[in-house]
Amino acid sequence: MNISANGYLSGSNLERVLRAGHFAATGELGPPQSADGSTIREKAQLLKGACDAANITDNQTAIVRMSSVSAGAIALQEGLEPVIQVTCRDRNRLAIQSDILGAYAQGIRNILALSGDHQTFGNHPMAKNVHDIDSIQLVQMIAEMRDKKIFQCGDPFKGQEPCMFVGAAAAPFAHPIDFRPYRLGKKVNAGANFIQTQLIYDIEAFKKYMEKVRALGLHEKTYILAGVGPLKSPAMARYMRESVPGMLIPDEIMNRMTAAGAPWSGKGELTKEDKKARSGAWRETGIKICVELIQQLREIEGVSGVHIMAIEWEEAVRPIAEGAGLLPRPVVEPAAA
C-alpha cells in the first residue's frame, strides 16, 4: 500500500495524525472481566486527549474479558478512538471477518492484528484454540478487505467494505533475533500500515534493530510506534526481565527502580503508610523513566510515535504524555488530506 498517495485509507484519527507527520501516541485500555461497561467509560476518560487512539485488548493473556469490538464501541461513545486488537487464537476467518464488518459499522477504524498469547497462560487453559490463520495472514486479509473489496475467500463485497487502518505488532528482541527485522518486513508487505512494538527499555538494542529496519526501508512503508510502559516496582521489572520473552531491561533501569525504594529498605516491618509512600516513589520513578525513554525514542530515525502501555494504570498515561511534551495532542481535520 502506498501510504503517500492522496486520500486516507481509513480516515481514523491515528492515521490522520501520522500522515500529517506528527509524533503519534497511542494508549491501551484493558476491558473488564465482567459485563460492566462503566469501567470502560471511566478508563476512556483517563485516556481521552492523552493519546491519539487507544488499543482495546482482545482477551489479553488469554483471560476472558469483554470483547474488544464491544469495548471499542463504548470507548468511541466516550470520544476515545479505539484500536481494536484481534487475535487468531479465539476466532477463525469467518468470525474475524464478521467482527470486522460489525466494528466498521460501529465506527471503528483501527485494528491491530496479533497471533495471541497461548491459551495455557490464561484462565481457560483447557480450551481448544483456533489459529485458522496467523497474524501475517490476518493483516493481509484486513488490507485486502479494504483495498480489493473482497472477503478472504475471494468473493467481492456486495456493499460497503470495511476500511481499516491496519496495524501489527513487532517483538524486536524475541528470537531468532536476526530474523526479527525480516519478519517485520513480512508484516509490512502483508499490508501493515502501522506497527506497535513490544515494550522497549533497552534503547541501544532498539537502535540496532532500527538500523536494520531502516536498511530494509521499512520505516518508509509503515509507521513504527515504539512500545513504552511505566514500571510499577522493582519486582515487576525483575519479573518482566526474567519471564517475558524478548524483554530487555538494562541494569541501569533496574537500579533506578531499586534506588527509588531505598529510603524504606532496612526499616524493618513497614507500616501501611510506609508501603504506600514507597509504592508512590517507585511509580514516580517508573513514570520518569518512561518519559525519558520516549524522549530518546523520538530521536531515533524511523520512529513515528510511541505506544504507551499502562494496563490497569491508565492514570499514568496523561502524566507520561505531558512529561514527554506530547500534550496537547494535535487535531488534524479529515479535510486536511
Partner 1 sequence: MIVAETKPLDEIKALLSDAEKVLVVGCGTCVTVCFAGGSREVAIMGSLLRMAGRMDGHERQVEEVTVQRQCEWEYLDAIAEQVGAVDVVLSLGCGIGVQALAEHFPNAWVVPGLNTKFMGLPLEQGVWAERCAGCGDCLLGLTGGVCPIARCSKQLLNGPCGGSIDGHCEINPEVSCAWQLIYDRLTEKGKLEVLMEIQPPRDWRTARHGGPRTIVREDLRLPEDHQAGQSMKQEA
The Cα 192–Cα 195 span in angstroms is: 7
- The smaller minimum CB distance to partner 1, of residues 48 and 183, is found at 183
- The smaller minimum CB distance to partner 1, of residues 106 and 189, is found at 189
The Cα 154–Cα 164 span in angstroms is: 18
CB of 122 to partner 1, least distance (A): 12
CB of 332 to partner 1, least distance (A): 31
The Cα 307–Cα 325 span in angstroms is: 15
Query: Pick from 97, 74, 64, 75: which is nearest to 26 by CA?
Result: 75
CB of 256 to partner 1, least distance (A): 25
- The smaller minimum CB distance to partner 1, of residues 23 and 206, is found at 206
CB of 247 to partner 1, least distance (A): 9
- The smaller minimum CB distance to partner 1, of residues 122 and 330, is found at 122
CB of 255 to partner 1, least distance (A): 24
CA distances, 193 to each of 4, 142, 184, 222, 288 (Å): 11, 11, 12, 5, 30
Which stretches of the chain bind partner 1, using CB under 8 A?
88-89, 93, 115-118, 120-121, 129, 131-137, 140-141, 152, 169-171, 174-176, 179, 182-183, 185-186, 189-190, 198, 245-246
- The smaller minimum CB distance to partner 1, of residues 182 and 264, is found at 182
Query: Pick from 205, 184, 204, 179: which is nearest to 194 by CA?
Result: 184
Query: Pick from 224, 233, 166: which is nearest to 200 by CA?
Result: 224
- The smaller minimum CB distance to partner 1, of residues 108 and 200, is found at 200
Residues of 25-56 as b/e, b for ≥16 C-beta within 10 angstroms?
Answer: bbbbbbbeeeeebebbeebbebbbebbbbbbb
CB of 319 to partner 1, least distance (A): 28
CA distances, 95 to each of 55, 84, 116, 117, 140 (Å): 20, 15, 15, 18, 16
Question: What is the three-class DSSP state of 301?
Answer: coil
